[in-house]
């Protein structure tokens, strides 16, 4: 009998439902903490969250992130505060999708989406720049044409840049809480002592961007 | 010095009564009386956290971070103001000390904005580090923080974020104590105390960048470095600054092959950690789009890009053709902006090509033999303990700012009497015991008279129009300082005067008072280039060419396998004068711009126009390079390794950090290729070290200099093989015309030159040239500040705005040499059109005359 006991396992499996899904016809639901490709988020008012602090680049074990900051243009600030991410590039061929960048980010600017369908024919195509990483004004991720799979608008909604696996306390339902921002750190008063008798022509910061300070 | 080198055991055994025994956290150490506890702790290997204490400034105990527990003493004294006493027992990590440290940090952080992610200091911030190491871990402060507008510009170079400031007093102390420009101060009281400039007076100090480095938080940040990188992006090498001949040690930091920041290194011998703003921020030209990237040759009157081989062949052919007409048909100028290796290669090429017409200075310095052979030569550190300092040279604050700091420190802190011999008041006048203001160009006479008076030779009346009482006072000071290591600092006082005998007179004075001489030069590696033999009368190592059968000459001929030409060479002025007469067939210019950087512009233009063949080795398309037949792109500071020699003769290393643009090469490489094409022997060098080794073997002065001995901040001091011994000095009489004004043409720190004009950091600084006149001359002329006048010089007329400045004596006019003089010229530069001939002060100067005088005419007022 011993020699037939092995076949019992085979027989048992013949009547089971197969685990294979017919990708790409069928799309499996991804877990909430899925580590897909990164997105750069915006505040509800459209301002970019990234402040170009390079902490993501510093913590990245694969050294796949390149960031450079710059002074916010006084008339038309890109992000709240003095500095914004002027260059933001991730080489997704090098990325190991560990999510340390998400943990390091002081403004939850970088999070991981559930978008994973990209294939490249040229190594340069694997470098995602700010243009592709930054979510649109509507909060939906941009798709890098020719590299990322064609998906429906719903799927993009699904892929939104919410904080996922690495939310403080590990709460997968965590939604959008600013950890560090000028508001969170320093309150909402206008700067004091704004006197006119000192030189300030370099003045990166005579602006008061909407949503940053209450007028 | 010997004490610090002794082993700890040896120190232990020689416990003399003058030394104090201090025990810090169980480690016993011996210190000199007067040592502060915080210094003693560092010596014992214990770090006491601190913010306000800085080893080069007076302690103030403002931050309260360094409180320690001293046994048998009530309360917790701050370690930075407590001097050690014998048998003191100190604890730095008891629970009470830890509690105090936590409280201090909690209070400091109460108002600190914690915008570390956007702060330029984040990642290298003492406040961050000490909060991590000694902080309470979390804050109980939930109230609203103090707010200020951020950031505000203190000057064109420094930004201040008052929210981040922890009021440590370092920047304000630096400005007052070290730089002597107390332009920033604390304003308001209590919680609202902050640092600010005075109304309408920006923090325009030449040393403002040091406050950024000293700031223990990110309150002071640099405009050029703002948001350029974060500390963990940067890679650094230690190098030597290439902006002036002081040779400050710097840390050169780069990211992605771009130099982003320069920081000072505390080298006791040279800069004590300080840098001037030109050294700190003047690196942006390295990455300017105008950098030459490929060799160019002139074909049908147009400069076109060529391959290295073509360009080298063309240059070698041109030099060989000219060399057939004898040694005086060749001229080699430059080398003082390069490394010593490259200068050596330049000097060698000149000699192999068969001429001694080679000069590293552009007729704007002193005798080469004096600069390298001054004896006994002072070091910068000698200034600290000198019995007296005589400064006879340029305005040190403008040309050698860090040397100015050292002289100022000696005068102010150590009480060294300072005698200033200058045609006008300079930055040092405030600290001078006596300012011997005299007629420009007659400094040598004055020094000789001082030397005579020191040897009790009666002088009835001081020469050069100096005041008799001041002269008497100066004589008293130097007589007092006789044989006690007084230092005579000697350099070219200005470019409008030839200062021909200044080196000899300075040596004479030093001999008379038994003192030391410190010759100063303008360009960074002038001394290195002269030591490498880039002077008509010198061979590598600073040995005299004319000494003929001396051993050095034989050694060099052996190393080169070639006889060194023995004809008498011409210096820069001689070469250019001959070239202007059309007698020079080929000029090789290495970092030498005869149009914008030569004292006599019309002569330079004439020379360029009449020379048949010009090779320019440069980093930018200078007006001279634009007129050349072959142009080679050179690697420069930060792009090539090598050694440099500063005014003391100290050899230190410059280290390459970034890649040169395009196919630019270090000069020694292309010079080696040229030498090989001219001599027919194969090129010999594959790295700067090969050049160095050949130079060290050929030049006896460099025999003791090894690769290992020039590592580090201290380097090795070299002395020329032949010391300078002046002949009998004869001062030719200089006629004065009371209707004329004598020209004082000094350089300003920020100019419009090829290099500093291309540094974005300096572009915002006002570099408009004005002529400065004494108020009496102004009223005699009947003009007011800002009015344009015409200066009628021997060579040209110059229209320039005037300004009252009583630091200029009557009968003189001070014009900045390195700034474009006319507004039309400045406009041209901005629009980028034909920057070839904006009028400069150099147009006015006749370099063949001993002094230059101008007649000042008022312009007709516009109707």
What are the boundaries of each domain within chain B? 19-93, 296-365+525-703, 370-519, 741-858
Taking CA–CA distances from B155, the nearest residue in chain A reads A199
Average pLDDT over residues B72-94: 93
ipTM above 0.95, yes or no: no
Give φ, ψ of B790 to 5 degrees.
Answer: -110, 125
Q: What is the pLDDT of residues B790-823, one digit of tens each?
A: 888 888 888 888 999 999 998 899 999 888 765 4
- Alpha-carbon distance of A165 to B397, in angstroms, equals 60
Token pair belonging to B466? 């100096």
**Which chain B residues are Cβ-neighbours of A59 within 8 angstroms?**
none
State the average pLDDT for chain B.
88
Please indicate whether residue B325 or residue B735 has the higher confidence score (pLDDT).
Answer: B325
Q: CB-CB: which of B145, B196, B230 is closest to A187?
A: B145
State the pLDDT at residue B187: 93
8 A C-beta contact, residue B571 and residue B535 = yes
Please indicate whether residue B709 or residue B215 has the higher confidence score (pLDDT).
Answer: B215
Q: What is the pLDDT of residues B590-604, one digit of tens each?
A: 999 998 888 888 899
Q: CB-CB: which of B155, B163, B227 is closest to A52?
A: B227
Residue B251 predicted with pLDDT over 90: yes
Token pair belonging to B548? 């003929």
Taking CA–CA distances from A53, the nearest residue in chain B reads B117
- CATH no., domain B741-858: 2.40.40.20
Q: CB-CB: which of B118, B228, B233 is closest to A82?
A: B118
Lowest mean pLDDT among A153-157, B129-133, B356-360: A153-157
Q: pLDDT band for A214, please (50, 70, 90 cuts).
A: very low
State the pLDDT at residue A152: 65
Give φ, ψ of A184 to 5 degrees.
Answer: -65, -35
State the pLDDT at residue A29: 78
Please indicate whether residue A202 or residue B439 has the higher confidence score (pLDDT).
Answer: B439
Lowest mean pLDDT among A70-74, B540-544, B585-589: B540-544
Residue B23 predicted with pLDDT over 80: yes
Give φ, ψ of B849 to 5 degrees.
Answer: -85, 155
- Alpha-carbon distance of B115 to B110, in angstroms, equals 13
Token pair belonging to A179? 């950890």
Class of domain B370-519: alpha beta
Alpha helices in B205-307, H assignment, sequence order: 209-214, 277-281
Token pair belonging to B621? 């398309």
Average pLDDT over residues A189-193: 39
State the pLDDT at residue A158: 57
Interface mutation vs chain A, best among B230, B232, B233, most A CBs within 10 Å = B230
- Alpha-carbon distance of B762 to B210, in angstroms, equals 16
Write the CB contacts of B464 (distance below 8 Å, at least 6 apart in sequence).
B438, B439, B442, B443, B445, B446
Q: What is the pLDDT of residues A7-65, one digit of tens each?
A: 888 899 889 988 888 888 887 877 777 888 898 988 877 888 899 999 999 999 999 99
- pTM exceeds cut of 0.95: no
State the pLDDT at residue B193: 92
In our burial notation (b when 16+ CB lie closer than 10 A, e otherwise), range B613-633 reads: bbbbbbbbbbbbbbbbbbbbb
In our burial notation (b when 16+ CB lie closer than 10 A, e otherwise), range A134-159 reads: bbeeebbbbbbeebbeeeeeebbebb
Residue B391 predicted with pLDDT over 90: yes
Question: What string of DSSP letters covers A42-81?
Answer: B-TTS-B------HHHHH-TT--EEEEEEEPPTTS-SSSS
Angle at which helix B308-323 crosses helix B667-679, to 10 degrees, equals: 50
State the pLDDT at residue B845: 85
Please tell me what DSSP assigns to residue B126: H
Average pLDDT over residues A63-82: 90
Q: pLDDT band for B16, please (50, 70, 90 cuts).
A: low
State the pLDDT at residue B826: 39
Lowest mean pLDDT among B157-166, B216-225, B475-484: B475-484
State the average pLDDT for chain A.
74
Residue A186 predicted with pLDDT over 70: no
Interface mutation vs chain A, best among B147, B198, B258, most A CBs within 10 Å = B147
- For B19-93, the fitting CATH number among 3.30.465.10, 3.10.20.740, 3.30.70.380, 3.40.50.10860 is 3.10.20.740
Residue B727 predicted with pLDDT over 90: no
Residue A169 predicted with pLDDT over 60: no
State the pLDDT at residue B797: 83
Please indicate whether residue B713 or residue B767 has the higher confidence score (pLDDT).
Answer: B713
Please indicate whether residue B246 or residue A210 has the higher confidence score (pLDDT).
Answer: B246
8 A C-beta contact, residue B557 and residue B583 = no
State the pLDDT at residue B356: 92
Lowest mean pLDDT among A20-34, B422-436, B516-530, B620-634: A20-34
Fold of B296-365+525-703: Rossmann fold (3.40.50)
Whole-angstrom CA distances from A4 to A9, B699, B823 are 9, 94, 103
**Which chain B residues are Cβ-neighbours of A194 within 8 angstroms?**
148-149
Token pair belonging to A25? 């016809």
Token pair belonging to B295? 């060799």
Give Cα B527 to chain centroid, integer Å: 12
B246 three-class SS = coil
Question: What string of DSSP letters covers B38-92?
Answer: HHHHHHTT-PPP-SS--TTS-----S-TTB-EETT-SS--BTTT-B--TTEEEES
The C-alpha torsion from B548 through B551 and B554 to B559, rounded to 10°, is: -140
Taking CA–CA distances from B197, the nearest residue in chain A reads A198
**Which chain A residues are Cβ-neighbours of B118 within 8 angstroms?**
51-53, 69, 81-83
Please indicate whether residue B837 or residue B650 has the higher confidence score (pLDDT).
Answer: B650
- The C-alpha angle B812, B813, B814, rounded to 5 degrees, equals 125
State the pLDDT at residue A181: 40
Peptide bond into B376 cis (omega under 30): yes
Token pair belonging to B418? 């300072």
Write the CB contacts of A31 (distance below 8 Å, at least 6 apart in sequence).
none
| Percentages of chain A per state (helix, strand, coil), in multiples of 5 | 20, 15, 65
- Alpha-carbon distance of B91 to B88, in angstroms, equals 10
Lowest mean pLDDT among A188-202, B166-180, B412-426, B532-546: A188-202
Q: pLDDT band for B453, please (50, 70, 90 cuts).
A: confident
Please tell me what DSSP assigns to residue B820: B
State the pLDDT at residue A196: 40
Residue B454 predicted with pLDDT over 90: no
Token pair belonging to A93? 């061929």
- Alpha-carbon distance of B646 to B519, in angstroms, equals 10
Contact B227 A193 (CB under 8 A): no
């Amino acid at each position: 009998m011993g020699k037939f006991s092995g076949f019992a396992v085979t027989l048992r499996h013949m009547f089971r439902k197969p685990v294979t899904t017919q990708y790409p016809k069928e799309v499996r639901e991804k877990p909430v903490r899925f580590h897909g490709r990164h997105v750069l988020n915006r505040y509800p008012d459209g301002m970019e969250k990234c402040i170009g602090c390079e902490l993501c680049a510093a913590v990245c074990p694969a050294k796949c992130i390149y960031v450079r900051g710059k002074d916010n243009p006084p008339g038309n600030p890109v992000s709240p505060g003095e500095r914004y991410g002027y260059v933001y590039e991730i080489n997704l061929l090098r990325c190991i999708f560990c999510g340390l960048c998400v943990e390091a980010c002081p403004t939850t600017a970088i999070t991981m989406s559930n978008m994973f369908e990209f294939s490249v024919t040229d190594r340069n195509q694997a470098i995602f720049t700010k243009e592709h990483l930054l979510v649109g004004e509507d909060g939906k991720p941009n798709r890098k044409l020719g590299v990322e799979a064609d998906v429906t608008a719903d799927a993009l909604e699904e892929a939104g840049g919410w904080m996922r696996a690495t939310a403080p306390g590990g709460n997968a339902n965590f939604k959008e809480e600013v950890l560090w921002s000028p508001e969170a750190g320093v309150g909402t008063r206008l700067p004091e002592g704004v006197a006119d008798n000192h030189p300030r022509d370099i003045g990166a910061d005579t602006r008061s961007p909407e949503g940053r300070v209450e007028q | 010095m010997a004490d610090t080198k002794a082993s700890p055991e040896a120190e232990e055994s020689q416990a003399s009564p003058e030394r104090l025994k201090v025990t810090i956290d169980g480690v016993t150490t011996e210190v000199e009386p007067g040592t502060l506890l915080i210094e003693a702790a560092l010596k014992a290997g214990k770090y006491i956290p601190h913010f306000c204490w800085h080893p080069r400034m007076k302690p103030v105990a403002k931050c309260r971070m360094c409180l320690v527990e001293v046994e048998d003493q009530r309360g917790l004294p701050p370690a930075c103001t407590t001097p050690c006493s014998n048998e003191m027992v100190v604890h730095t990590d008891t629970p009470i000390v830890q509690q105090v440290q936590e409280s201090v940090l909690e209070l400091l952080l109460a108002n600190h904005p914690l915008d570390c992610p956007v702060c330029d200091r984040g990642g290298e911030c003492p406040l961050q580090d000490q909060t991590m190491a000694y902080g309470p871990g979390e804050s109980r402060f939930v109230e609203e923080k103090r707010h200020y507008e951020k950031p505000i510009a203190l000057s064109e170079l420094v930004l201040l974020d008052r929210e981040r400031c922890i009021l440590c007093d370092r920047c304000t102390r630096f400005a007052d104590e070290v730089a002597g420009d107390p332009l920033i101060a604390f304003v308001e009281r209590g919680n609202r105390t902050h640092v600010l400039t005075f109304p309408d007076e920006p923090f325009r100090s030449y040393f403002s960048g040091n406050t950024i480095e000293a700031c223990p938080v990110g309150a002071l940040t640099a405009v050029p470095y703002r948001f350029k990188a974060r500390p963990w992006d940067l890679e650094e090498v230690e190098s030597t600054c290439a902006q002036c001949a002081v040779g400050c040690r710097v840390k050169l930091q780069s990211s992605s092959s771009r130099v982003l920041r320069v920081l000072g290194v505390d080298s006791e011998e040279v800069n004590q950690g300080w840098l001037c703003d030109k050294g700190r921020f003047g690196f942006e030209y390295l990455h300017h789009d105008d950098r030459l990237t490929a060799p160019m040759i002139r074909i049908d009157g147009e400069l076109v890009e060529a391959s290295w081989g073509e360009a080298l062949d063309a240059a070698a052919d041109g030099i060989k053709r000219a060399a057939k007409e004898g040694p005086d048909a060749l001229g080699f100028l430059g080398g003082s902006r390069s490394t010593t290796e490259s200068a050596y290669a330049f000097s060698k090429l000149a000699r192999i090509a068969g001429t001694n017409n080679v000069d590293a200075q552009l007729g704007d310095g002193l005798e080469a033999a004096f600069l390298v052979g001054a004896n006994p030569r002072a070091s910068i550190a000698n200034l600290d303990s000198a019995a007296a300092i005589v400064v006879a040279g340029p305005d040190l604050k403008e040309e050698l700012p860090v040397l100015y700091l050292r002289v100022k420190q000696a005068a102010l802190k150590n009480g060294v009497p300072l005698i200033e011999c200058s045609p006008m008041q300079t930055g040092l006048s405030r600290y001078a015991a006596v300012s011997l203001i005299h007629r420009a160009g007659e400094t040598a006479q004055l020094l000789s008279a001082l030397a005579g008076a020191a040897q009790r030779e009666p002088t009835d009346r001081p020469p050069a129009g100096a005041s008799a009482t001041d002269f008497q006072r100066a004589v008293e000071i130097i007589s007092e300082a006789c044989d006690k290591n007084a230092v005579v600092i000697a350099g070219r006082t200005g470019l409008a005067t030839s200062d021909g005998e200044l080196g000899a007179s300075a040596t004479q004075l030093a001999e008379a008072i038994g003192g030391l001489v410190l010759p100063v030069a303008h360009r960074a590696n002038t001394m290195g280039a002269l030591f490498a033999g880039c002077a008509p009368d010198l061979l590598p190592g600073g040995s005299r060419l004319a000494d003929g059968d001396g051993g050095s000459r034989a050694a060099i001929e052996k190393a080169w396998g070639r006889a060194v030409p023995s004809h008498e060479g011409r210096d820069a002025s001689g070469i250019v004068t001959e070239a202007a007469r059309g007698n020079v067939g080929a000029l090789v210019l290495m970092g030498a711009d005869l149009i914008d950087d030569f004292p006599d512009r019309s002569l330079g233009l004439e020379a360029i126009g009449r020379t048949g063949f010009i090779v320019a080795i440069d980093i930018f398309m200078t007006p001279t390079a634009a007129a050349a037949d072959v142009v080679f792109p050179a690697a420069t500071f930060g792009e090539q390794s090598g050694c440099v020699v500063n005014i003391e003769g100290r050899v230190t290393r410059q280290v390459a950090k970034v890649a040169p643009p395009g196919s630019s090469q270090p000069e020694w490489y292309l010079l080696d290729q040229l030498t090989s094409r001219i001599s027919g022997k194969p090129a010999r060098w594959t790295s700067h070290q090969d050049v160095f080794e050949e130079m060290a073997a050929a030049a006896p002065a460099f025999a003791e200099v090894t690769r290992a001995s020039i590592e580090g901040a201290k380097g090795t001091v070299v002395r020329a093989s032949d010391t300078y011994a002046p002949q009998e000095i004869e001062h030719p009489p200089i006629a004065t015309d009371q209707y004329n004004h004598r020209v004082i043409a000094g350089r300003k720190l920020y100019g419009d030159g090829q290099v500093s004009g291309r540094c974005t950091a300096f572009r915002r600084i006002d570099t408009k040239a004005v002529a400065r006149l004494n108020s009496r001359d102004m009223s005699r002329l009947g003009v007011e500040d800002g009015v344009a006048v015409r200066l009628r010089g021997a060579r040209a007329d110059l229209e320039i705005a005037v300004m009252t400045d009583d630091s200029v004596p009557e009968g003189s006019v001070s014009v900045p040499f390195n700034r474009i003089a006319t507004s039309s010229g400045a406009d041209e530069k901005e629009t980028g059109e034909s920057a070839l001939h904006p009028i400069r002060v150099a147009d006015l100067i006749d370099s063949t005359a001993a002094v230059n005088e101008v007649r000042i005419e008022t312009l007709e007022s516009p109707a």
